[in-house]
Structure 1
Amino acid sequence: MTVRVTVAKGRVVRDQRGRKCPDGDFPVDEKDFFWSAHIRSGDLELVKPKVSDTAAAVPEPSNKVAAK
């Protein structure tokens, strides 16, 4: 599963090839052992998805039984 992360403040994280990770948010596979270790250690922080104004509204579930 792909999630968006950002490097924690004051940390420098390098990818598997030794390159510095970008300053902004970027996608990683949270199931990958390499990235999950960085998330658990606090080197990477999960970015909460942005809710846009154009997002589809989900109707409230109704627990009422329809009358016949």
Structure 2
Amino acid sequence: MSVRVTVAEGRVVRDPRGRKCPDGEFSVDEKDFFWARCLRSGDLELVKPKTSGAAVVLPDASNKVATK
């Protein structure tokens, strides 16, 4: 499964081929042993998905009218 990550502040991460990873966001396979180790050690940080501006409104249970 592919996830979006960034390199942690103050760290330099190289991919399995020895190339420096980009400074911005990029995708990795979180099930790959190499990238999983980078995530666990804190070298990479998960990027939280951007949420849309619309908020979900749930009905308020306290406004229900009692019926007989």
Q: TM class by shorter-chain length? A: 0.7 to 0.9
| TM-score, reference length from structure 2 | 0.76
Paired with 1:2 and 1:14, the residues of 2 have a C-alpha distance of 18
| TM-score, reference length from structure 1 | 0.76
Structure 2 residue ranges without an equivalent (≥5) = 59-68
Larger helix proportion of the pair:
2
Aligned length: 59
Structure 1 residue ranges without an equivalent (≥5) = 61-68
CA RMSD of aligned residues (A): 1.8
User: Max radius of gyration: which structure?
Assistant: 2
The C-alpha deviation readout for 1:1-30, integer Å capped at 9, x for no partner, is: 110000000000000110000000100000
Q: In percent, how many aligned pairs have the same letter? A: 78
